[in-house]
Structure 1
Amino acid sequence: MSTAAAQVVRSEWTKIRSVASTVWTLSLAVVVSVALGMLISVLSRNEFDSMSPRDRLSFDPTYVSFAGMSLGQLAMIVFGVLVVANEYSSGMIRTSLAAVPQRGTFLFSKVAVATALALAVGLVTAFLAFFLGQAMLGDLRASLGDPGVLRAVIGGGLYMTLIAMFSMGVAAMLRSPMLSLGILMPFFFLISNILGNVDVTRKVGQYLPDQAGSRIMQVVTPVDREPPYGPWGGLGIMALWVAAALLGGYLVLRRRDA
Protein backbone atom coordinates (compact mmCIF):
# COMPACT_ATOMS: atom_id res chain seq x y z
CA MET A 1 0.00 0.00 0.00
CA SER A 2 1.36 3.42 -0.95
CA THR A 3 1.96 6.12 1.65
CA ALA A 4 -0.93 8.21 0.30
CA ALA A 5 -3.34 5.28 0.42
CA ALA A 6 -2.22 4.42 3.95
CA GLN A 7 -2.94 8.00 5.02
CA VAL A 8 -6.44 7.79 3.55
CA VAL A 9 -7.07 4.53 5.39
CA ARG A 10 -5.91 6.09 8.68
CA SER A 11 -8.15 9.07 8.02
CA GLU A 12 -11.18 6.85 7.45
CA TRP A 13 -10.41 4.88 10.60
CA THR A 14 -10.31 8.13 12.57
CA LYS A 15 -13.68 9.18 11.14
CA ILE A 16 -15.36 5.90 12.08
CA ARG A 17 -13.80 5.76 15.53
CA SER A 18 -14.75 9.35 16.35
CA VAL A 19 -18.46 9.01 15.50
CA ALA A 20 -20.31 7.65 18.52
CA SER A 21 -23.31 6.41 16.52
CA THR A 22 -21.23 3.93 14.50
CA VAL A 23 -19.68 2.49 17.66
CA TRP A 24 -23.09 2.13 19.32
CA THR A 25 -24.64 0.40 16.32
CA LEU A 26 -21.90 -2.23 16.28
CA SER A 27 -22.33 -2.78 20.01
CA LEU A 28 -26.06 -3.12 19.51
CA ALA A 29 -25.53 -5.71 16.77
CA VAL A 30 -23.62 -7.91 19.23
CA VAL A 31 -26.00 -7.48 22.16
CA VAL A 32 -29.21 -8.01 20.18
CA SER A 33 -27.90 -11.00 18.22
CA VAL A 34 -26.56 -12.79 21.28
CA ALA A 35 -29.42 -12.00 23.68
CA LEU A 36 -32.19 -12.91 21.25
CA GLY A 37 -30.32 -16.03 20.16
CA MET A 38 -30.13 -17.17 23.79
CA LEU A 39 -33.83 -16.51 24.29
CA ILE A 40 -34.85 -18.44 21.16
CA SER A 41 -32.54 -21.29 22.17
CA VAL A 42 -34.24 -21.58 25.58
CA LEU A 43 -37.69 -21.54 23.97
CA SER A 44 -36.63 -24.14 21.41
CA ARG A 45 -35.31 -26.47 24.10
CA ASN A 46 -38.57 -26.21 26.04
CA GLU A 47 -40.70 -26.85 22.95
CA PHE A 48 -38.64 -29.64 21.39
CA ASP A 49 -40.60 -32.50 22.97
CA SER A 50 -43.87 -31.13 21.57
CA MET A 51 -42.52 -30.71 18.03
CA SER A 52 -43.80 -32.86 15.19
CA PRO A 53 -41.48 -35.57 13.80
CA ARG A 54 -40.94 -33.44 10.70
CA ASP A 55 -39.91 -30.40 12.75
CA ARG A 56 -37.51 -32.53 14.78
CA LEU A 57 -35.84 -33.73 11.58
CA SER A 58 -35.37 -30.09 10.54
CA PHE A 59 -34.16 -28.95 13.97
CA ASP A 60 -30.81 -27.20 13.60
CA PRO A 61 -29.28 -26.28 16.99
CA THR A 62 -26.54 -24.25 15.35
CA TYR A 63 -28.95 -22.15 13.29
CA VAL A 64 -31.25 -21.70 16.29
CA SER A 65 -28.47 -19.92 18.18
CA PHE A 66 -28.20 -17.47 15.26
CA ALA A 67 -31.89 -16.53 15.39
CA GLY A 68 -31.01 -13.15 16.90
CA MET A 69 -29.04 -12.15 13.80
CA SER A 70 -32.30 -11.40 12.02
CA LEU A 71 -32.51 -8.30 14.23
CA GLY A 72 -28.79 -7.85 14.79
CA GLN A 73 -28.28 -7.46 11.05
CA LEU A 74 -30.44 -4.35 11.15
CA ALA A 75 -27.81 -2.71 13.36
CA MET A 76 -25.15 -3.72 10.83
CA ILE A 77 -27.27 -2.11 8.11
CA VAL A 78 -27.37 1.12 10.11
CA PHE A 79 -23.60 0.94 10.59
CA GLY A 80 -22.96 0.46 6.88
CA VAL A 81 -25.26 3.32 5.93
CA LEU A 82 -23.85 5.75 8.50
CA VAL A 83 -20.25 5.05 7.52
CA VAL A 84 -20.92 6.21 3.97
CA ALA A 85 -23.93 8.51 4.02
CA ASN A 86 -23.17 10.58 7.12
CA GLU A 87 -20.67 12.64 5.14
CA TYR A 88 -23.37 13.53 2.61
CA SER A 89 -25.88 14.64 5.24
CA SER A 90 -23.28 16.72 7.07
CA GLY A 91 -21.71 18.20 3.93
CA MET A 92 -18.29 16.85 4.88
CA ILE A 93 -18.16 14.89 1.63
CA ARG A 94 -16.93 18.02 -0.18
CA THR A 95 -14.01 18.38 2.21
CA SER A 96 -13.20 14.68 1.98
CA LEU A 97 -13.17 14.65 -1.83
CA ALA A 98 -11.10 17.84 -1.91
CA ALA A 99 -8.53 16.10 0.29
CA VAL A 100 -8.75 12.82 -1.70
CA PRO A 101 -9.62 13.64 -5.34
CA GLN A 102 -9.18 10.00 -6.39
CA ARG A 103 -12.73 8.89 -5.75
CA GLY A 104 -12.01 5.21 -6.14
CA THR A 105 -9.28 5.42 -3.49
CA PHE A 106 -11.60 7.38 -1.23
CA LEU A 107 -14.47 4.89 -1.45
CA PHE A 108 -12.23 1.79 -1.33
CA SER A 109 -10.47 3.05 1.80
CA LYS A 110 -13.74 3.82 3.55
CA VAL A 111 -15.23 0.44 2.66
CA ALA A 112 -12.03 -1.44 3.54
CA VAL A 113 -11.78 0.06 7.02
CA ALA A 114 -15.49 -0.40 7.74
CA THR A 115 -15.42 -3.96 6.39
CA ALA A 116 -12.48 -4.94 8.61
CA LEU A 117 -14.33 -3.57 11.63
CA ALA A 118 -17.59 -5.26 10.63
CA LEU A 119 -15.77 -8.58 10.13
CA ALA A 120 -14.22 -8.43 13.59
CA VAL A 121 -17.56 -7.61 15.19
CA GLY A 122 -19.38 -10.18 13.04
CA LEU A 123 -17.04 -13.02 14.05
CA VAL A 124 -17.22 -12.09 17.74
CA THR A 125 -21.02 -11.99 17.47
CA ALA A 126 -21.22 -15.36 15.71
CA PHE A 127 -18.99 -17.19 18.18
CA LEU A 128 -20.68 -15.63 21.23
CA ALA A 129 -24.13 -16.39 19.84
CA PHE A 130 -23.12 -19.98 19.14
CA PHE A 131 -21.51 -20.82 22.47
CA LEU A 132 -24.12 -19.08 24.62
CA GLY A 133 -26.98 -20.38 22.49
CA GLN A 134 -25.72 -23.96 22.73
CA ALA A 135 -25.41 -23.59 26.50
CA MET A 136 -29.11 -22.70 26.58
CA LEU A 137 -30.02 -25.74 24.45
CA GLY A 138 -28.69 -28.23 26.99
CA ASP A 139 -28.79 -31.82 25.68
CA LEU A 140 -29.85 -30.58 22.23
CA ARG A 141 -26.67 -28.59 21.75
CA ALA A 142 -24.21 -29.01 18.91
CA SER A 143 -20.42 -29.01 19.21
CA LEU A 144 -18.02 -26.80 17.30
CA GLY A 145 -16.32 -29.99 16.10
CA ASP A 146 -19.50 -31.46 14.57
CA PRO A 147 -19.61 -31.60 10.74
CA GLY A 148 -20.51 -28.22 9.25
CA VAL A 149 -20.71 -26.35 12.55
CA LEU A 150 -17.43 -24.41 12.39
CA ARG A 151 -18.26 -23.45 8.80
CA ALA A 152 -21.66 -22.18 9.93
CA VAL A 153 -20.19 -20.11 12.79
CA ILE A 154 -17.50 -18.49 10.65
CA GLY A 155 -20.12 -18.06 7.93
CA GLY A 156 -22.29 -16.17 10.41
CA GLY A 157 -19.53 -13.61 10.84
CA LEU A 158 -19.07 -13.35 7.06
CA TYR A 159 -22.82 -12.94 6.60
CA MET A 160 -22.97 -9.99 9.00
CA THR A 161 -19.97 -8.43 7.25
CA LEU A 162 -21.56 -8.74 3.80
CA ILE A 163 -24.79 -7.19 5.10
CA ALA A 164 -22.79 -4.15 6.20
CA MET A 165 -20.93 -3.99 2.87
CA PHE A 166 -24.15 -4.22 0.87
CA SER A 167 -25.54 -1.33 2.91
CA MET A 168 -22.42 0.72 2.19
CA GLY A 169 -22.90 0.23 -1.54
CA VAL A 170 -26.57 1.20 -1.40
CA ALA A 171 -25.76 4.26 0.72
CA ALA A 172 -23.08 5.31 -1.77
CA MET A 173 -25.67 5.13 -4.56
CA LEU A 174 -28.47 6.92 -2.71
CA ARG A 175 -26.23 9.44 -0.87
CA SER A 176 -28.75 9.88 1.94
CA PRO A 177 -28.92 8.06 5.29
CA MET A 178 -32.67 8.47 5.63
CA LEU A 179 -33.43 7.26 2.11
CA SER A 180 -31.00 4.36 2.40
CA LEU A 181 -32.44 3.19 5.72
CA GLY A 182 -35.97 3.78 4.46
CA ILE A 183 -35.33 1.26 1.69
CA LEU A 184 -33.01 -1.25 3.36
CA MET A 185 -34.87 -1.69 6.66
CA PRO A 186 -38.24 -2.74 5.24
CA PHE A 187 -36.55 -4.73 2.48
CA PHE A 188 -34.59 -6.97 4.85
CA PHE A 189 -37.05 -7.00 7.72
CA LEU A 190 -40.29 -7.50 5.79
CA ILE A 191 -40.14 -7.82 2.01
CA SER A 192 -37.34 -10.39 1.80
CA ASN A 193 -38.92 -12.59 4.47
CA ILE A 194 -42.28 -12.49 2.73
CA LEU A 195 -40.82 -13.31 -0.68
CA GLY A 196 -38.68 -16.09 0.76
CA ASN A 197 -41.48 -17.82 2.67
CA VAL A 198 -44.48 -17.55 0.35
CA ASP A 199 -44.72 -20.53 -2.01
CA VAL A 200 -45.50 -18.42 -5.08
CA THR A 201 -42.46 -16.16 -4.69
CA ARG A 202 -40.00 -18.50 -2.98
CA LYS A 203 -38.10 -19.32 -6.17
CA VAL A 204 -37.30 -15.64 -6.56
CA GLY A 205 -36.91 -14.83 -2.87
CA GLN A 206 -34.26 -17.49 -2.30
CA TYR A 207 -31.87 -15.53 -4.50
CA LEU A 208 -32.14 -12.31 -2.49
CA PRO A 209 -28.93 -11.43 -0.61
CA ASP A 210 -30.04 -12.27 2.92
CA GLN A 211 -32.00 -15.37 1.95
CA ALA A 212 -29.08 -16.79 -0.04
CA GLY A 213 -26.39 -15.67 2.39
CA SER A 214 -28.06 -17.08 5.49
CA ARG A 215 -27.71 -20.59 4.00
CA ILE A 216 -24.07 -20.53 5.17
CA MET A 217 -25.28 -20.60 8.80
CA GLN A 218 -27.41 -23.72 8.36
CA VAL A 219 -26.08 -27.16 9.22
CA VAL A 220 -29.35 -29.05 8.88
CA THR A 221 -31.37 -28.40 5.72
CA PRO A 222 -35.13 -28.08 6.47
CA VAL A 223 -37.25 -30.92 5.12
CA ASP A 224 -38.66 -30.12 1.65
CA ARG A 225 -36.98 -26.69 1.67
CA GLU A 226 -33.58 -27.40 0.16
CA PRO A 227 -32.50 -24.52 -2.14
CA PRO A 228 -30.72 -25.14 -5.46
CA TYR A 229 -27.37 -24.09 -3.96
CA GLY A 230 -25.19 -25.10 -1.04
CA PRO A 231 -23.88 -23.02 1.89
CA TRP A 232 -20.94 -21.53 0.00
CA GLY A 233 -23.01 -21.12 -3.15
CA GLY A 234 -25.53 -19.07 -1.18
CA LEU A 235 -22.76 -16.91 0.27
CA GLY A 236 -21.39 -16.49 -3.26
CA ILE A 237 -24.77 -15.21 -4.45
CA MET A 238 -24.80 -12.72 -1.60
CA ALA A 239 -21.25 -11.63 -2.48
CA LEU A 240 -22.40 -10.90 -6.05
CA TRP A 241 -25.14 -8.64 -4.67
CA VAL A 242 -22.53 -6.86 -2.56
CA ALA A 243 -20.17 -6.43 -5.52
CA ALA A 244 -23.00 -5.00 -7.63
CA ALA A 245 -23.99 -2.53 -4.89
CA LEU A 246 -20.41 -1.34 -4.37
CA LEU A 247 -19.86 -1.00 -8.12
CA GLY A 248 -23.04 1.05 -8.36
CA GLY A 249 -21.88 3.22 -5.48
CA TYR A 250 -18.52 3.80 -7.14
CA LEU A 251 -20.11 4.72 -10.47
CA VAL A 252 -22.45 7.23 -8.82
CA LEU A 253 -19.56 8.74 -6.83
CA ARG A 254 -17.41 9.04 -9.94
CA ARG A 255 -20.08 10.63 -12.14
CA ARG A 256 -21.91 12.95 -9.76
CA ASP A 257 -20.76 16.03 -7.90
CA ALA A 258 -20.61 15.95 -4.13
Structure 2
Amino acid sequence: MAGIQVVRSEWTKIRSVASTVWTLSLAVVVTIALGMLIAALSKNEFDNMSAREQLSFDPTFISFAGMSLGQLAMIVFGVLVVSNEYSTGMIRTSLAAVPQRGTFLAGKIAVATGLALAVGLATSFATFFLGQSMLGPHRAEIGDPGVLRAVIGGGFYMTLIAMFSMGVAAMLRSPMLSLGILMPFFFLISNILGNVGATKKIGRYLPDQAGSRIMQVVTPLDDDTPYGPWGGLAIMVAWVAAALLGGYLLLQKRDA
Protein backbone atom coordinates (compact mmCIF):
# COMPACT_ATOMS: atom_id res chain seq x y z
CA MET A 1 0.00 0.00 0.00
CA ALA A 2 1.39 3.42 -0.99
CA GLY A 3 2.20 5.98 1.67
CA ILE A 4 -0.72 8.25 0.77
CA GLN A 5 -3.12 5.32 1.01
CA VAL A 6 -1.75 4.45 4.45
CA VAL A 7 -2.34 8.03 5.58
CA ARG A 8 -5.91 7.96 4.29
CA SER A 9 -6.53 4.64 5.97
CA GLU A 10 -5.19 5.88 9.31
CA TRP A 11 -7.27 9.06 9.06
CA THR A 12 -10.38 6.94 8.55
CA LYS A 13 -9.51 4.80 11.56
CA ILE A 14 -8.95 7.76 13.86
CA ARG A 15 -12.09 9.69 12.98
CA SER A 16 -14.27 6.58 13.11
CA VAL A 17 -13.30 5.75 16.71
CA ALA A 18 -15.41 7.80 19.11
CA SER A 19 -12.96 7.51 22.00
CA THR A 20 -10.18 9.36 20.16
CA VAL A 21 -12.53 12.19 19.19
CA TRP A 22 -13.82 12.50 22.76
CA THR A 23 -10.35 12.56 24.30
CA LEU A 24 -9.26 15.41 22.05
CA SER A 25 -12.44 17.31 22.84
CA LEU A 26 -11.83 16.76 26.55
CA ALA A 27 -8.27 18.07 26.21
CA VAL A 28 -9.62 21.31 24.74
CA VAL A 29 -12.37 21.83 27.30
CA VAL A 30 -10.33 20.96 30.38
CA THR A 31 -7.30 23.02 29.36
CA ILE A 32 -9.33 26.14 28.60
CA ALA A 33 -11.73 25.89 31.55
CA LEU A 34 -9.05 25.25 34.16
CA GLY A 35 -6.80 27.92 32.68
CA MET A 36 -9.57 30.51 32.94
CA LEU A 37 -10.35 29.48 36.51
CA ILE A 38 -6.73 29.69 37.68
CA ALA A 39 -6.29 33.02 35.90
CA ALA A 40 -9.36 34.46 37.61
CA LEU A 41 -8.15 33.25 41.01
CA SER A 42 -4.67 34.67 40.35
CA LYS A 43 -6.13 38.09 39.54
CA ASN A 44 -7.93 38.15 42.89
CA GLU A 45 -4.82 37.04 44.77
CA PHE A 46 -2.30 39.31 43.03
CA ASP A 47 -2.53 42.16 45.54
CA ASN A 48 -1.95 39.71 48.41
CA MET A 49 1.28 38.40 46.88
CA SER A 50 4.65 39.42 48.22
CA ALA A 51 6.82 41.75 46.15
CA ARG A 52 9.02 38.79 45.23
CA GLU A 53 6.02 36.78 44.03
CA GLN A 54 4.74 39.69 41.98
CA LEU A 55 8.11 40.03 40.25
CA SER A 56 7.93 36.35 39.29
CA PHE A 57 4.27 36.56 38.20
CA ASP A 58 3.95 35.12 34.69
CA PRO A 59 0.49 35.91 33.25
CA THR A 60 1.16 33.88 30.13
CA PHE A 61 2.15 30.75 32.02
CA ILE A 62 -0.81 31.20 34.39
CA SER A 63 -3.22 30.81 31.49
CA PHE A 64 -1.65 27.43 30.71
CA ALA A 65 -2.37 26.03 34.17
CA GLY A 66 -4.98 23.75 32.62
CA MET A 67 -2.29 21.92 30.66
CA SER A 68 -1.63 19.79 33.73
CA LEU A 69 -4.99 18.07 33.22
CA GLY A 70 -5.32 18.68 29.50
CA GLN A 71 -2.21 16.62 28.89
CA LEU A 72 -3.98 13.71 30.57
CA ALA A 73 -6.43 13.60 27.66
CA MET A 74 -3.58 13.93 25.13
CA ILE A 75 -1.85 10.95 26.75
CA VAL A 76 -5.02 8.88 26.43
CA PHE A 77 -5.39 9.99 22.81
CA GLY A 78 -1.83 8.97 21.94
CA VAL A 79 -2.19 5.60 23.62
CA LEU A 80 -5.54 4.79 22.01
CA VAL A 81 -4.41 5.75 18.52
CA VAL A 82 -1.67 3.11 18.59
CA SER A 83 -2.93 0.41 20.94
CA ASN A 84 -6.61 0.19 19.92
CA GLU A 85 -5.75 -2.17 17.08
CA TYR A 86 -3.81 -4.44 19.42
CA SER A 87 -6.67 -4.67 21.91
CA THR A 88 -9.20 -5.50 19.17
CA GLY A 89 -6.93 -7.84 17.20
CA MET A 90 -7.19 -5.66 14.07
CA ILE A 91 -3.43 -5.20 14.06
CA ARG A 92 -3.01 -8.45 12.12
CA THR A 93 -5.30 -7.22 9.37
CA SER A 94 -3.55 -3.84 9.25
CA LEU A 95 -0.09 -5.38 8.97
CA ALA A 96 -1.31 -7.80 6.32
CA ALA A 97 -2.54 -4.80 4.30
CA VAL A 98 0.67 -2.85 4.96
CA PRO A 99 3.57 -5.33 5.29
CA GLN A 100 6.08 -2.48 5.50
CA ARG A 101 5.85 -1.95 9.22
CA GLY A 102 7.82 1.27 9.19
CA THR A 103 5.40 2.75 6.67
CA PHE A 104 2.46 1.55 8.72
CA LEU A 105 3.73 3.13 11.95
CA ALA A 106 4.89 6.32 10.22
CA GLY A 107 1.47 6.80 8.62
CA LYS A 108 -0.30 6.30 11.94
CA ILE A 109 2.03 8.65 13.80
CA ALA A 110 1.87 11.29 11.05
CA VAL A 111 -1.92 11.46 10.98
CA ALA A 112 -2.27 11.46 14.76
CA THR A 113 0.49 14.07 15.15
CA GLY A 114 -1.10 16.37 12.59
CA LEU A 115 -4.42 16.14 14.37
CA ALA A 116 -2.84 16.65 17.80
CA LEU A 117 -0.91 19.68 16.51
CA ALA A 118 -4.03 21.31 15.07
CA VAL A 119 -5.96 20.74 18.30
CA GLY A 120 -2.98 21.74 20.45
CA LEU A 121 -2.38 25.06 18.69
CA ALA A 122 -6.07 25.96 18.67
CA THR A 123 -6.32 25.11 22.36
CA SER A 124 -3.17 27.02 23.24
CA PHE A 125 -4.29 30.24 21.54
CA ALA A 126 -7.81 29.95 22.98
CA THR A 127 -6.63 29.32 26.52
CA PHE A 128 -4.17 32.21 26.29
CA PHE A 129 -6.68 34.81 25.13
CA LEU A 130 -9.45 33.63 27.44
CA GLY A 131 -7.05 33.31 30.36
CA GLN A 132 -5.72 36.82 29.82
CA SER A 133 -9.27 38.17 29.73
CA MET A 134 -9.64 36.86 33.29
CA LEU A 135 -6.45 38.60 34.49
CA GLY A 136 -7.64 42.14 33.77
CA PRO A 137 -4.87 44.70 34.39
CA HIS A 138 -2.29 41.96 34.99
CA ARG A 139 -2.73 40.45 31.53
CA ALA A 140 -0.07 39.94 28.89
CA GLU A 141 -0.43 40.83 25.20
CA ILE A 142 0.35 38.47 22.35
CA GLY A 143 2.89 41.00 21.04
CA ASP A 144 4.84 41.19 24.30
CA PRO A 145 8.37 39.73 24.21
CA GLY A 146 8.32 35.94 24.41
CA VAL A 147 4.54 35.60 24.54
CA LEU A 148 3.90 34.40 20.98
CA ARG A 149 6.71 31.86 21.38
CA ALA A 150 5.10 30.60 24.59
CA VAL A 151 1.64 30.31 23.02
CA ILE A 152 2.87 28.43 19.96
CA GLY A 153 5.05 26.37 22.28
CA GLY A 154 1.97 25.36 24.25
CA GLY A 155 0.58 23.75 21.11
CA PHE A 156 3.88 21.98 20.48
CA TYR A 157 3.94 20.77 24.07
CA MET A 158 0.52 19.12 23.81
CA THR A 159 1.52 17.53 20.50
CA LEU A 160 4.77 16.14 21.90
CA ILE A 161 2.97 14.68 24.91
CA ALA A 162 0.70 12.79 22.51
CA MET A 163 3.65 11.64 20.38
CA PHE A 164 5.57 10.40 23.41
CA SER A 165 2.50 8.42 24.45
CA MET A 166 2.27 6.94 20.94
CA GLY A 167 5.85 5.74 21.17
CA VAL A 168 5.30 4.15 24.58
CA ALA A 169 2.09 2.49 23.37
CA ALA A 170 3.90 1.13 20.32
CA MET A 171 6.44 -0.48 22.62
CA LEU A 172 3.96 -1.89 25.16
CA ARG A 173 0.99 -2.58 22.79
CA SER A 174 -1.48 -2.75 25.68
CA PRO A 175 -3.61 0.35 26.38
CA MET A 176 -4.00 -0.55 30.06
CA LEU A 177 -0.29 -1.17 30.56
CA SER A 178 0.64 2.00 28.67
CA LEU A 179 -1.73 4.17 30.68
CA GLY A 180 -0.71 2.38 33.87
CA ILE A 181 2.86 3.54 33.28
CA LEU A 182 2.32 6.95 31.72
CA MET A 183 -0.20 8.29 34.23
CA PRO A 184 1.96 7.69 37.33
CA PHE A 185 5.04 8.82 35.41
CA PHE A 186 3.62 12.25 34.56
CA PHE A 187 1.34 12.88 37.52
CA LEU A 188 3.27 11.29 40.38
CA ILE A 189 6.90 10.44 39.64
CA SER A 190 7.64 13.62 37.70
CA ASN A 191 6.11 15.84 40.37
CA ILE A 192 7.95 14.07 43.18
CA LEU A 193 11.32 14.19 41.43
CA GLY A 194 10.80 17.81 40.45
CA ASN A 195 9.84 19.06 43.90
CA VAL A 196 12.15 17.11 46.20
CA GLY A 197 15.44 18.86 46.75
CA ALA A 198 17.59 15.75 46.40
CA THR A 199 16.10 14.81 43.01
CA LYS A 200 15.16 18.22 41.60
CA LYS A 201 18.14 18.31 39.26
CA ILE A 202 17.04 14.96 37.79
CA GLY A 203 13.38 15.87 37.53
CA ARG A 204 14.05 18.95 35.43
CA TYR A 205 15.22 16.68 32.60
CA LEU A 206 11.98 14.69 32.42
CA PRO A 207 9.93 15.38 29.27
CA ASP A 208 7.04 17.29 30.82
CA GLN A 209 9.15 19.48 33.08
CA ALA A 210 11.65 20.29 30.36
CA GLY A 211 9.01 20.83 27.69
CA SER A 212 6.85 23.11 29.81
CA ARG A 213 9.67 25.67 29.86
CA ILE A 214 8.65 26.72 26.35
CA MET A 215 5.44 28.16 27.85
CA GLN A 216 7.23 30.34 30.40
CA VAL A 217 7.89 34.01 29.70
CA VAL A 218 8.97 35.22 33.16
CA THR A 219 11.76 33.22 34.82
CA PRO A 220 11.28 32.76 38.60
CA LEU A 221 13.83 34.70 40.64
CA ASP A 222 15.27 31.60 42.33
CA ASP A 223 15.31 29.43 39.20
CA ASP A 224 18.66 27.84 38.40
CA THR A 225 17.60 25.59 35.50
CA PRO A 226 20.58 25.32 33.13
CA TYR A 227 18.51 25.56 29.93
CA GLY A 228 16.00 27.97 28.48
CA PRO A 229 12.66 27.53 26.70
CA TRP A 230 14.08 26.14 23.46
CA GLY A 231 16.57 23.97 25.31
CA GLY A 232 13.73 22.48 27.34
CA LEU A 233 11.72 21.81 24.20
CA ALA A 234 14.76 20.13 22.63
CA ILE A 235 15.05 17.81 25.66
CA MET A 236 11.39 16.87 25.27
CA VAL A 237 11.87 16.22 21.54
CA ALA A 238 14.75 13.88 22.40
CA TRP A 239 12.47 11.90 24.74
CA VAL A 240 9.82 11.69 22.03
CA ALA A 241 12.33 10.56 19.41
CA ALA A 242 13.63 7.85 21.75
CA ALA A 243 10.09 6.58 22.46
CA LEU A 244 9.14 6.49 18.78
CA LEU A 245 12.40 4.79 17.84
CA GLY A 246 11.81 2.16 20.52
CA GLY A 247 8.30 1.57 19.20
CA TYR A 248 9.57 1.22 15.64
CA LEU A 249 12.37 -1.21 16.54
CA LEU A 250 10.06 -3.45 18.59
CA LEU A 251 7.39 -3.40 15.87
CA GLN A 252 9.98 -4.58 13.36
CA LYS A 253 11.24 -7.44 15.53
CA ARG A 254 8.19 -9.08 17.02
CA ASP A 255 5.00 -10.74 15.84
CA ALA A 256 1.76 -8.79 15.74
Specify if TM > 0.5: yes
Distance 1:216 1:197 in 2: 19
TM-score, normalization: structure 2?
Answer: 0.99
- What is the count of residue pairs matched by the alignment? 256
Distance 1:58 1:176 in 2: 42
1:222 counterpart residue number: 220
One-letter amino acid of the structure 2 residue matched with residue 236 of structure 1: A
One-letter amino acid of the structure 1 residue matched with residue 115 of structure 2: L
SS at match of 1:239: helix
Instruction: For residue 36 of structure 1, report the CA deviation from its aligned partner.
Output: 0.1
1:21 counterpart residue number: 19
Instruction: For residue 55 of structure 1, report the CA deviation from its aligned partner.
Output: 1.0
1:71 counterpart residue number: 69
Is 1:239–2:220 an aligned residue pair? Answer: no
SS at match of 1:146: coil
2:155 counterpart residue number: 157
Residue by residue, what CA displacement relative to the aligned partner does 1:209-246 show, whole Å, maximum 9, x if unpaired?
00000000000011112310010110000000000000
SS at match of 2:205: coil
One-letter amino acid of the structure 2 residue matched with residue 245 of structure 1: A
Instruction: For residue 198 of structure 1, report the CA deviation from its aligned partner.
Output: 1.4
Unaligned runs of 5+ in 2: none
Question: In the alignment, which of 150, 170, 173 is matched to residue 172 of structure 1?
Answer: 170
Instruction: For residue 108 of structure 1, report the CA deviation from its aligned partner.
Output: 0.3
The CA RMSD over aligned residues, in Å, is: 0.7
Distance 1:233 1:139 in 2: 31
Distance 2:224 2:68 in 1: 20
Superposed, which structure 2 residues align to 1:25-36 within 5 Å?
A: 25-36=23-34
Distance 1:172 1:246 in 2: 8
TM-score, normalization: structure 1?
Answer: 0.98
SS at match of 2:222: coil
Instruction: For residue 117 of structure 1, report the CA deviation from its aligned partner.
Output: 0.1
The share of aligned pairs that are identical, in percent, is 82
One-letter amino acid of the structure 1 residue matched with residue 131 of structure 2: G
Moved over 6 A (4+): none
Is 1:39–2:37 an aligned residue pair? Answer: yes
One-letter amino acid of the structure 2 residue matched with residue 194 of structure 1: I
Distance 1:176 1:52 in 2: 48
1:199 counterpart residue number: 197
One-letter amino acid of the structure 1 residue matched with residue 36 of structure 2: M
1:183 counterpart residue number: 181
